[in-house]
């Protein structure tokens, strides 16, 4: 490449090097193009905003107009429906949910799957309940400067003669998704790079380098050092040869070359030992790996989400993971809760209707008639399969034990070891038997305690029952724990 120093042709080195560099640039450009397309798709999502000029026209019903996210401005009033993401940071004006509360999922912000409740101040919610009220409402909002804090918000709203504080419970951040709420009216307070999710994004993200690349870098560095050492050795050998042979040869008069030109010539000569093409080969292999990762077995049918490799930088690291450190199980699973066991008045009951529906149905008739009618006294410690005593309202000294009749039935399943004392065991009974027992003996002390326990489970929650398109009742709650209960 350097005239007078290069021992090879002009294009012998520059053409392969340019080819390898162009391949690497094309691969990086393809990744940038995909990111650009994702950003463009995000900015071109649609949302519904209130426009006064369209209130009497046919372009949008009741003054609502559909625009793109990139056209949303501060001060716009936005209408969000269920399962719709917030296009910007918003302050809630009114929610058409139960008790005027909107439930929001913030998994894109903090990774939490439980829902958070958002509600406007009562005077604001009352003044912004309809489109006509939104046009006539004269509320003045004062908010803090854009910052990174997701868990604290300061501001105030003035409506009429009232001055009310603004807190985090009235703000919906961009990236949040509306859940369990039919409709929410909100006003935009931050857009674009001033949104919390964008301000918390890393401005200059560190490029993740795989361990294989570090190993290749070490090999290349060692090769470069070897090339330099070899060039220096040959240069010194040339100086020795010149003193012994070149100076005595009449046909090499005035043909000697200086130390540094001959050193540069040897470096150029030996540069083919440096494996520059190895990087390009690795990039091509990673690209084909990314294509092969589109495995049909990693397709999620419920959410209709296929596996997608966003980048090919660290493909080889996927097969080398040995340990995963997680703060909670919901990070690695779908955070699905199932109600399995409960303890009522010292007895444990197994709930497995969703696991064994046929067996659970059959267990409703597992108590024999003779056992249902009789009531026998309990002597503490005489039988390891009998639960603690439960007094019967019929008189002192006698008890009514739901496990005494069941423990003799061999079909009731395995034995559950007590956690307090290792030498005490009790039969593992199913909740279908508990329901039948309460139906047959509703006035016993155990039945009253069990009914009170089940009533508490049925009432002490924030679940909202709703009917779907098939007129089936579905429960909506802020956390999967409450839905399971």
- What residues are labeled active site? 327
The C-alpha atoms of residue 135 and residue 311 are separated, in whole angstroms, by 47
Distances (CA, A) of 414 to 350, 407, 430: 11, 11, 11
SS3 24: helix
Q: Could you tell me where the beta strands, DSSP code E, fall in 152-259? A: 155-159, 162-166, 171-172, 177-179, 183-190
- Strand 77-81 and strand 183-190: the pairing is antiparallel
CB 166 within 8 A of CB 155: yes
Backbone angles phi, psi at 181, to 5 degrees: -135, 125
Distances (CA, A) of 321 to 95, 289, 314: 45, 17, 12
CB 485 within 8 A of CB 457: yes
The C-alpha atoms of residue 396 and residue 61 are separated, in whole angstroms, by 73
Which tokens is 447 given?
């039945």
Distances (CA, A) of 181 to 104, 139, 445: 9, 24, 42
CB 88 within 8 A of CB 188: yes
Chain centre to alpha carbon of residue 315: 20
Backbone angles phi, psi at 238, to 5 degrees: -65, -40
């Amino acid at each position: 490449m350097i005239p007078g120093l290069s021992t090879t042709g002009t294009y012998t080195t520059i053409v392969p090097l340019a080819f390898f560099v162009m391949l690497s640039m094309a691969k990086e450009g393809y990744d940038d193009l995909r990111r650009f397309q994702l950003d463009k798709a995000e900015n071109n999502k649609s949302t519904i905003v209130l426009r006064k000029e369209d209130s009497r026209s046919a372009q949008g019903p009741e003054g609502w107009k559909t625009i793109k996210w990139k056209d949303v401005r501060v001060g716009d009033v936005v209408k969000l429906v269920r399962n719709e993401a917030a296009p910007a940071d918003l302050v809630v004006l009114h929610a058409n949910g139960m008790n005027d509360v909107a439930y929001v999922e913030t998994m894109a912000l903090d990774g939490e799957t439980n829902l958070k409740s958002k509600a406007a101040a009562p005077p604001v919610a009352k003044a912004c309940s309809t489109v006509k009220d939104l046009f006539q409402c004269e509320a003045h909002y004062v908010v803090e400067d854009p910052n990174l804090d997701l868990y604290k918000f300061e501001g105030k709203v003035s409506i009429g003669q009232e001055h009310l504080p603004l807190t985090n419970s009235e703000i919906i951040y961009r990236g949040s998704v509306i859940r369990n709420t039919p409709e929410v009216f909100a006003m935009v307070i931050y857009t674009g790079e001033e949104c919390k999710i964008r301000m918390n994004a890393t401005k200059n993200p560190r490029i993740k380098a795989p361990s294989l690349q570090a190993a290749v870098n070490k090999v290349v560095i060692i090769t470069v050092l070897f090339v330099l050492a070899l060039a220096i050795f040959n240069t010194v050998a040339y100086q020795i040869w010149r003193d012994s042979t070149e100076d005595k040869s009449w046909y090499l008069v005035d043909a000697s070359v200086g130390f540094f030109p001959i050193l540069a010539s040897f470096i150029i000569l030996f540069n083919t030992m440096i494996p520059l093409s190895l990087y390009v080969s690795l990039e091509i292999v990673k690209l084909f790996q990314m294509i092969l990762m589109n495995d049909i077995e990693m397709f999620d049918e419920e959410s209709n989400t296929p596996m997608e490799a966003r980048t090919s930088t660290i493909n080889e690291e996927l097969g080398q993971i040995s340990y995963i450190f997680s703060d909670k199980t919901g990070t690695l699973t779908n955070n699905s809760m199932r109600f399995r066991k409960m303890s009522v008045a010292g007895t444990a009951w197994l709930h497995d209707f969703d696991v064994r529906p046929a067996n659970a149905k059959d267990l409703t008739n597992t108590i024999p008639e003779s056992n249902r009618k009789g009531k026998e006294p309990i002597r503490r410690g005489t039988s390891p399969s009998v639960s603690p005593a439960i007094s019967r309202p019929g008189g002192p000294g006698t008890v009514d034990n739901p496990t005494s009749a069941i423990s003799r039935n061999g079909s009731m399943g395995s034995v559950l070891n007590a956690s307090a004392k290792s030498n005490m065991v009790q039969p593992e009974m199913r909740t279908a038997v508990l329901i039948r027992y309460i139906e047959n003996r509703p006035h016993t002390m155990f039945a009253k305690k069990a009914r009170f326990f089940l009533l508490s489970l049925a009432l002490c929650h924030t679940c909202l029952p709703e009917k779907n398109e098939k007129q089936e009742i579905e429960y909506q709650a802020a956390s999967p724990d409450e839905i399971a209960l």
